[in-house]
Amino acid sequence: MPVRAGNTWLRMAHVALLAGVLTGCSEAAEGDGSTGSALPSARARTSAPEGTAASSGGSVGAAGSACELPVTFDTAKSWKAEAVTAPLSQGPVSLACEIDAKPAGNIGFLRVWAGKPGDADARAVLEAFVAAEDGVGEEKYSAFTSGGLSGVRVEYLYTSELLEETKKERAFAVTTADGPVVVHLGGLDTDEHEEMLPAYELARRTLRAA
């Protein structure tokens, strides 16, 4: 499968999700006579705001967890993890796990991508991952350590030509004996992205080799 096939599929899913949200807003407005948007109530605002710590609701990565990975980390309360078996790739890694924020009241995912063992370091893996995504700009890379692992994180802007919007995205990468891992946070828009940051930071802070 071409490298960008997974990225294209995810963007199509993003468009479908947006259409569903807008349809839901329209139906809610027509059904109850309300003049306001249904989106704020749909979000439920149960995720912690930016700058606060997310409460752990479990973990992924270990044998027997929802997603078995080369690393383990905590997932935020109410977020739901599910293993991905479809062959979707972006750069040197393939999608292995999706952790859904909808049960916590947000629209978006933490997506975990894993690759085969090799000589590339975390920076090279992350740069290749970002380069495989069309519409990316203003990347800012920095190093971090967690649980004995040395990694690299990136913040950037993604512009969708189809949706004609620009939003923030983030990702971090580490390498392990079992291969590289990239954890990516997108979101329906920048507001959703910012609200989900505590869950992303919880994953990064609790990251360990499996």
Q: Residue 184 corresponds to which tokens in the numbers above?
A: 């990516």
Radius of gyration of the chain (CA): 17
Q: Is the pLDDT of residue 162 over 90?
A: no
Distance CA 164, CA 127 (A): 24
Indicate the pLDDT class of residue 38, thresholds 50, 70 and 90: very low
Q: Are strands 136-146 and 93-100 parallel, antiparallel or unpaired?
A: unpaired
- From residue 33, how far is each of 23, 36, 61 by CA, in Å? 15, 9, 46
Average pLDDT estimate for 16-39 = 39
What's the pLDDT score for residue 11? 52
Domain total of the chain: 1
Domain hosting 190: range is: 5-209
Average pLDDT estimate for 82-101 = 96
Which residues in 159-172 are b (16+ Cβ under 10 Å) and which e?
Answer: eeeeeeeebbbbbb
What's the pLDDT score for residue 100? 97
Q: Taking Cα atoms as reference points, which of 157, 101, 99, 152 lies closest to residue 128?
A: 152
One-letter amino acid for residue 128 of the chain: A
Q: Are strands 109-114 and 89-90 parallel, antiparallel or unpaired?
A: unpaired
CATH of the domain at 120: 3.40.1000.10
Average pLDDT estimate for 1-30 = 44
Average pLDDT estimate for 99-106 = 96
Distance CA 207, CA 204 (A): 5
What's the pLDDT score for residue 25? 39
Using an 8 Å Cβ cutoff, are 195 and 47 in contact?
yes
Q: Is the pLDDT of residue 27 over 90?
A: no
What's the pLDDT score for residue 10? 54
Using an 8 Å Cβ cutoff, are 177 and 115 in contact?
no
